[in-house]
Structure 1
């Protein structure tokens, strides 16, 4: 903390005896020089004029004076080199100079040196800088006889104690009422000090400084509270040893809340204070959970492996034998990559062995996220997003962090590596492994792996310089290769031998040839053909078994292939329309409506490839052939099968965009304001020229817009069939309007809307989740909002997530505004393909937060299913800011996940294990 290098001065008046060959001339000159120095630059009894400021003084280290004192030539004797004083080469080191460092000192009112007491006095805004030590105080006294420095504050005209000392040495800062420091022994007594140690502060009446790295305190207070004058809580350290930047070791200690002692304490304690991450024990949470008994949760150890990677190992144990193990690791390397890895395993036991309701099962979940910095390698990229495991993991897990992902129906994963070779043409390839898993059906689809390669577009007829013009110069072709090994399995066979036995592999080669040009200056025309070749290693063979009287399907292993091709053309243009509502002399609110249409027409020809189709005969019991059944041996190919029916279809599509110009509310605006009415309104259908019936395909309509400054997002769609249905609800070759109906028959429709409302300002409604909750939701495959609830693992929320130092508005006697936010998601689907005329799904989900006071916040997430007439999983949240503490209560009042969770703990991460948590959780039957 503090380190002085002042040493005691020699007496200013002394009796000097000059003896030949024994007198030390240097000591005489040193004394005279120092006396002149003090008399010249110091004040004795004189006090400077009022208001006059003393300029900063600098005491330089004293060097050997070059002044030579003359001697009487009669007494002088020649000294030979042999008899010269041996101290020049003596092994004993000479004494240090008067000062080891340059001393800068300053005082506003005065600085004086008392020759009789050998003391230096500095008063009002006093400051001393000596080496790495910095002292500021109202009053500083340096005693050269006792080798002490005493610093204290001063009392102003109102009687307030001001200008308290502030001692800074290196990164350590101490703010006591006063300090007494011994410059020779390096020890100090510090009175009423407040010292920052890591995230906390040590408040001590008397602190003994043993040396630069060890302090001893008695009856001190350790707290992370912001108000140090009246802390809302503290840990009383009756006897403690402090090593700044490393640790605090204490004897008996217990918690005081507003100076009221509590029975929560320890016979001894250890508080790590390292600025670097360090390994340590994670204290578990104790509780009880219905049939599983008492438990210890989230206990384990944190391994600070290096500056680039860490590892957290956590475990749970229940008295009925259930247990869980979780491992979480984060890693990062600046400008290269970052990611995290997690594995969770739970062995769940319900009831007791021998009882009829006894059940035992294991579930697991593996998650891995990796992202590469864009600057690491511009030509290659590796990324991973893995979330796989037991299908029912999120639904039956005991871990509170999984609450928000319980309604997930799909788990998905992807690991990919891509590489680009620059040149002409450019070559790209990528290797990807994917995984999708349905938690309801427990079906799993995987590709291990998928290889994709491509050669960039080549223009064989284009000139090497200049732009490409015309049909010929715009002719281009490229080559694409896709190889895939696809696996379809179930949760019970995951990564077992049966899973790999059913794998299917294949290659697909595609060579598209296209060109484009302008037609009549306003139409864009394109034409092309595509060649497709598929390689497969498994085909099928079908035949009829007359004995079993059933069809038999055999798998044929071996290489086989088929080739197809098609032709396509398209033409499109853009039409702009403006509906002007302005009239001379009138300032209408709506100035004009702008309509942009993009119609397009396409024509596609897909030849038939019936040469790849085979037949087998069905023979009855009498030996008669009843029918020939046609099949394709590539039916199970991962890239499909050749088309058997020739098609020649015309496609029609129309996209629309509507915008309005309205009068701006800002009277100073010179131009009208642009408002989007419809982002898109699209129509599409097709007509099969070569078809023998039902040539028109249903008309598909989609659209979307955003209203109220993009706070309300609406998307809708519908499918309309022009053909009528017969009595068996089958499509017939008769238009619906000819059958007594409308022009189109609505077969399906959908509408989704999401609305974010808040009185906190734009975008505040989306900020209800903190970063950790949002990250946990996304990593688990959930939503990026809290409509399905939020994680209830409150113990992982640390102080760093809340900005306690942000500026707050001055408190008023009455707050007329209560900050709130509301998020709504509405979805409805209509089905009428076979005259069922029903709403297939209809639901409304909502979540919101209300900040009743600066300290109280309540929130809720729920929804209502209008189809099944019931509420979706509901979560109620209550949070109280208790200054240095945080209290949370989460409650799911009904449903399969009925539970509650109460938590209270200190915000500071260093004391996050000082908490109390109580929960009641529903037992989920497996």
Structure 2
């Protein structure tokens, strides 16, 4: 083994089983277990030829080039040391940050670090053979920014599935617009799927959009849309919806689900706000038929609500109007309240002309219209309850014999309700 440093401000070190110097040709040849290092660049190969004048090295015999943690493999490598550019034949490139693998007939790298791949393939699957690949005649990788390809074909188990006109994939943690990386696999029910076929737009710092598709056994097609929004301390939330398009040999059906979360302040003092969250679904079997994970598959209930609330500073109270919905898939029951009105005040002196009196009063009221539906095969029933509930409490502090303290409370409550259909257990509870 020989080891020798080379000239220049940046140290170039090399070693091999044997080293040959060509003084006239200004050339160094490394034979057998060759290794050459220059800064963060390390080259390993059976044969390495380096020209001292042009500062171009050529490597043969399954060379491996490591640059700042990224690894490139190929049948041969031609690299310019000072300009930090070169090309690789029958190359493989492993990106440790993206956990991705690129292959190509030839790779070229310019002085900015941008990598160009001819006849390239991209995948995040490291199995042999990979479970899926994206093929494109031309790939362009901009370090720490994005990968671009045009056109691109998704191959699953080496079979072409989907073709896209172009492909953009971010290579950093910042939000960037681009095509999503497809996923494929086998679900709990044993059916195969291809997922995440779509596009992400996120150039605006306050809002982004995602549109993606999913294919199950080439019979069930789903389209998913998502958006997130956030405007300082006034508005924030997210909305996600998907719809299925089934094709059973000529028949078709459309089913859907929707989930949301929303928070909004209409006034600068946050006294008027709108808040809500929940899920809606077209039917009770949607999650079990079109699940995305185990959580969705086992879901038996959905809940949704949306509330508009106003704080009243002069009354030290608040008022609100809300919509509430709950569905139990197992019991096949759906309960919906629209509207649900609430009003309450703070505590006020009962005898304001008596300064020593500690008796206070307050008032609260609730009004609602609630409907319960039972949609079992053997039973279909609908029950409606509507009414209002008033409460007027009077309370205070009393001291007897200088040592005995009491807190008397007098509460008046009235709740007239109207029922249609057969009353449910929760209806009876209100009258207790």
Determine the structure 2 residue equivalent to 1:486. 368
TM-score, structure 1 normalization? 0.30
Structure-to-structure mapping, 1:292-441, within 5 angstroms:
302=199, 304=201, 306-312=204-210, 327-331=225-229, 339-343=237-241, 367-370=259-262, 383-387=275-279, 393-395=283-285, 400-401=290-291, 403-405=297-299, 407-408=300-301, 411-415=303-307, 417=309, 427=316, 429=318, 431-437=320-326, 440=332
Determine the structure 1 residue equivalent to 2:65. 165
Any idea what SS the aligned residue of 2:298 has? helix
Determine the structure 1 residue equivalent to 2:41. 135
Structure-to-structure mapping, 1:674-713, within 5 angstroms:
none
Determine the structure 2 residue equivalent to 1:180. 78
How far residue 247 of structure 1 moved from its aligned partner, in angstroms, is 1.5
2:129 pairs with 1:246:
no
CA contact (8 A) 1:208 1:215 kept: yes
Deviations 1:787-820 (A, max 9, x none): xxxxxxxxxxxxxxxxxxxxxxxxxxxxxxxxxx
Structure 1: unaligned runs, 5 residues or longer: 1-49, 60-103, 155-160, 257-261, 286-295, 354-359, 461-471, 493-501, 535-633, 639-926
2:165 pairs with 1:273:
no
Deviations 1:276-310 (A, max 9, x none): 4435599999xxxxxxxxxx999985552544434
In structure 2, the CA distance between the partners of 1:418 and 1:526, relative to structure 1 (3 Å rule), is: farther
Any idea what SS the aligned residue of 1:454 has? coil
2:347 pairs with 1:452:
no
How far residue 221 of structure 1 moved from its aligned partner, in angstroms, is 4.9
How far residue 384 of structure 1 moved from its aligned partner, in angstroms, is 1.7
Any idea what SS the aligned residue of 2:43 has? strand
- Higher relative helix content: 1
Deviations 1:55-104 (A, max 9, x none): x9763xxxxxxxxxxxxxxxxxxxxxxxxxxxxxxxxxxxxxxxxxxxx3
Structure-to-structure mapping, 1:78-97, within 5 angstroms:
none
**Inter-partner Cα distance in structure 2 for 1:240 and 1:480:** 74
Any idea what SS the aligned residue of 2:276 has? strand
In structure 2, the CA distance between the partners of 1:636 and 1:441, relative to structure 1 (3 Å rule), is: same
Structure-to-structure mapping, 1:614-629, within 5 angstroms:
none
Larger radius of gyration: 1
Deviations 1:239-270 (A, max 9, x none): 444344232346888566xxxxx554678875
TM-score, structure 2 normalization? 0.55
How far residue 128 of structure 1 moved from its aligned partner, in angstroms, is 2.9
How far residue 394 of structure 1 moved from its aligned partner, in angstroms, is 1.9
**Inter-partner Cα distance in structure 2 for 1:235 and 1:347:** 26
Determine the structure 2 residue equivalent to 1:529. 409
How far residue 180 of structure 1 moved from its aligned partner, in angstroms, is 1.5
Deviations 1:757-804 (A, max 9, x none): xxxxxxxxxxxxxxxxxxxxxxxxxxxxxxxxxxxxxxxxxxxxxxxx
CA contact (8 A) 1:151 1:165 kept: no
Q: 2:13 aligns with which of 101, 107, 113?
A: 107
**Inter-partner Cα distance in structure 1 for 2:224 and 2:324:** 22
Deviations 1:855-877 (A, max 9, x none): xxxxxxxxxxxxxxxxxxxxxxx
How far residue 149 of structure 1 moved from its aligned partner, in angstroms, is 2.3
In structure 2, the CA distance between the partners of 1:487 and 1:190, relative to structure 1 (3 Å rule), is: same
How far residue 195 of structure 1 moved from its aligned partner, in angstroms, is 1.8
**Inter-partner Cα distance in structure 2 for 1:511 and 1:166:** 80
- Higher relative strand content: 2
How far residue 201 of structure 1 moved from its aligned partner, in angstroms, is 0.8
Q: 2:396 aligns with which of 507, 513, 533?
A: 513
**Inter-partner Cα distance in structure 2 for 1:340 and 1:511:** 44
How far residue 415 of structure 1 moved from its aligned partner, in angstroms, is 2.6
**Inter-partner Cα distance in structure 1 for 2:245 and 2:65:** 60
Structure-to-structure mapping, 1:423-822, within 5 angstroms:
427=316, 429=318, 431-437=320-326, 440=332, 444-454=336-346, 480-489=362-371, 504=387, 508-514=391-397, 526-530=406-410, 532=412, 635-636=416-417
**Inter-partner Cα distance in structure 2 for 1:252 and 1:365:** 30
**Inter-partner Cα distance in structure 1 for 2:416 and 2:93:** 77
Determine the structure 1 residue equivalent to 2:103. 203
CA contact (8 A) 1:108 1:125 kept: yes
In structure 2, the CA distance between the partners of 1:490 and 1:138, relative to structure 1 (3 Å rule), is: closer
- Larger relative contact order, structure 1 or 2 (CA cutoff 8 Å, min sep 6): 1
Determine the structure 1 residue equivalent to 2:116. 215
How far residue 216 of structure 1 moved from its aligned partner, in angstroms, is 3.4
Structure 2: unaligned runs, 5 residues or longer: 185-192, 375-384, 420-432
**Inter-partner Cα distance in structure 1 for 2:263 and 2:417:** 36
Any idea what SS the aligned residue of 1:273 has? strand
CA contact (8 A) 1:419 1:430 kept: yes
Any idea what SS the aligned residue of 1:225 has? coil
Deviations 1:179-226 (A, max 9, x none): 3235799862224543246553113464244775452334x5543233
**Inter-partner Cα distance in structure 1 for 2:244 and 2:105:** 51
In structure 2, the CA distance between the partners of 1:368 and 1:189, relative to structure 1 (3 Å rule), is: closer
**Inter-partner Cα distance in structure 2 for 1:268 and 1:636:** 60
**Inter-partner Cα distance in structure 1 for 2:232 and 2:28:** 53
In structure 2, the CA distance between the partners of 1:396 and 1:506, relative to structure 1 (3 Å rule), is: same
How far residue 445 of structure 1 moved from its aligned partner, in angstroms, is 2.7
